[in-house]
Structure 1
């Protein structure tokens, strides 16, 4: 990420955004932007897909409000436009959500680069392709940014802000501020296979697939183990704060070293970041400092930790989420 100074105008309240691609993700993104007061031009070459937007957007909008009048108002802020050249007029950002094919995205971005002034941000919702590849034919690469929603994007609040070597730090900051305006949280990461969330997610899933292949655990036991242990803790605190709250760094390092010695798998080898904390005596909440710094007494932290976890697990049990899905 370059430190080049570039001026990107702040996202104006009620400003104009073009969403390119009216498929599943484009529909979600357009509805979300409209809900938060932006004027949206939804562009797609398929007239049937454009025409079906209101019907597809209503269930999405219903997650924001039960007020049908407000849903109707939201839909009035989205205009369907088949012409890309017309759709991008007067916008401060274009958000591309076309099919996940490199050639298709490259063509869209090359065209957008020619249609849009240099200060217009060109964002992509890619879930796997590299920004540098998508922007290969873009002259003004410094305004290209990844803004990747995690399905269902109108509910999951984390959004990946993906940057490349040519991305100015000012644009990453701009991206964070923009997603804050739609009540989401930006998590920045450089372009790399899997970005941030998929890299973490598939590290876990790959191990789970291996457990299934080797017959070590059943589908139901794996899901119950995660749902009733790891899942609630991660939902409350994330992986690093969870480690701070649950176990000392010395024990965490001992476990990773033991797994490495038993399996020879480099993925289990204790990493430098963890070893450094142990050497510095930063053991987590128990010592007042780990990945995070803790200002409250340890007894208070433990009491609050346990109460939060109890409340969440009680709520999950009352919801009976798995049975309500009617799966078997």
Structure 2
């Protein structure tokens, strides 16, 4: 589905016409917004025509892929695609001068970011919200390149940007809280689920998933399990549970003491550095804050209907089982 063209719309631009910029453009266009996809690199006429054809082709193919999977009527593909305007470098100044919300998505080097923000600073309105989409550079480093750093934050999209709902908003000490709140609201308006973190390496999702992926690779190297068995275990065990329960919620649900004891055993048998429990778990154990079973943990359960909460968690899990096609009805006749 898509929002009507008549809806109020901030003027949005994505600087950098690569994969990330195209994904962001699709996300906003799908939600009914007109988007400028701005290329800052000086190109020959032939090179610009090739880039236009490539970008337009990818946008239309991505939308057609969603339509083919039944996500919306294929007749809407041209309408949605037409909301994305491809802007050549020599027209960038005009496009940027009208921007309210900008996403920088140039290559992941400080020099490329610095050069991009020289252009952005020169042409964007003073009250524009400026963001980077970097996946590897700290927001505090890029903030140094921004004329008005109080109007700057990082918004990290997870690929495919037009599919995955979570976007990670990383702010720095000088980010205006009102700017952060406005950026969060704009993401919610296009159907995203913004999560907020400080200027921390790896944000939330990449920091967690890197640990899991590295450990899976180690298990294959050690001969502990095959890639196929690990993937089956993560899709229908680990992944299914964490789709029903958040990671921190999962700690509280099972008990911080369970994680504490498991960490102790794994640090002794596998690797002390990788599996040592963090100090916060030691403090929670000492305070008796074990999670749901004690009434408080990372969350406070005072006054909560624990029975209803457990039933809700079970319902979420059953929903994931049904989605995976793994729920089986009871056998009506006795076997044997």
Q: How many residue pairs were aligned?
A: 307
Match of 2:234 in 1: 226
Aligned-residue Cα RMSD (Å) equals 2.4
| 1:1-29 Cα deviation digits (max 9, x unpaired) | xxxxxxxxxxx931211111222221111
Alpha-carbon distance in structure 2 between the residues aligned to 1:36 and 1:125: 19
Match of 1:183 in 2: 191
Match of 2:126 in 1: 118
The DSSP-based 3-state class of the residue aligned with 1:285 is coil
1:252 pairs, out of 251, 259, 263, with 259
| 1:37-62 Cα deviation digits (max 9, x unpaired) | 22211112444222443332224334
The DSSP-based 3-state class of the residue aligned with 1:293 is coil
Whose relative contact order is higher, 1 or 2, with alpha carbons under 8 Å and at least 6 apart? 1
Unaligned runs of 5+ in 1: 1-11, 320-328
Q: Superposition pairs for residues 1-328 of structure 1, below 5 Å?
A: 13-44=8-39, 45=41, 46-62=48-64, 63=66, 65-82=71-88, 83-245=91-253, 247-263=254-270, 265-294=272-301, 295-317=303-325
Alpha-carbon distance in structure 1 between the residues aligned to 2:138 and 2:306: 44
User: Which deviates the most, 102-111 or 289-298?
Assistant: 289-298
Match of 1:3 in 2: none
CA separation of 1:195 and 1:311: change in aligned 2, threshold 3 A: closer
Q: Give the C-alpha shift of residue 160 in structure 1.
A: 1.0
Normalised to the residue count of structure 1, the TM-score between the two structures is 0.84
The DSSP-based 3-state class of the residue aligned with 2:103 is strand
- Give yes or no for contact 1:13–1:37 (8 Å, CA) kept in 2: no
Alpha-carbon distance in structure 2 between the residues aligned to 1:190 and 1:209: 29
- Give yes or no for contact 2:98–2:125 (8 Å, CA) kept in 1: no
CA separation of 1:304 and 1:145: change in aligned 2, threshold 3 A: closer
- Give yes or no for contact 1:285–1:301 (8 Å, CA) kept in 2: no
CA separation of 1:308 and 1:259: change in aligned 2, threshold 3 A: same
Q: Give the C-alpha shift of residue 89 in structure 1.
A: 2.2
Q: Give the C-alpha shift of residue 262 in structure 1.
A: 3.7
Alpha-carbon distance in structure 1 between the residues aligned to 2:82 and 2:222: 54
User: Which deviates the most, 206-215 or 270-279?
Assistant: 270-279
Q: Give the C-alpha shift of residue 149 in structure 1.
A: 0.7
Unaligned runs of 5+ in 2: 1-6, 42-47, 328-336
The DSSP-based 3-state class of the residue aligned with 1:311 is helix
Alpha-carbon distance in structure 1 between the residues aligned to 2:130 and 2:255: 44
Match of 1:322 in 2: none
User: Which deviates the most, 42-51 or 13-22?
Assistant: 42-51
- The runs of 4+ residues in structure 1 deviating greater than 6 Å are none
Alpha-carbon distance in structure 1 between the residues aligned to 2:16 and 2:129: 17
Alpha-carbon distance in structure 1 between the residues aligned to 2:192 and 2:139: 22
Match of 2:333 in 1: none
| 1:229-249 Cα deviation digits (max 9, x unpaired) | 11011112221112222x222
| 1:197-235 Cα deviation digits (max 9, x unpaired) | 211111111222222222222211211221221101111
Normalised to the residue count of structure 2, the TM-score between the two structures is 0.83
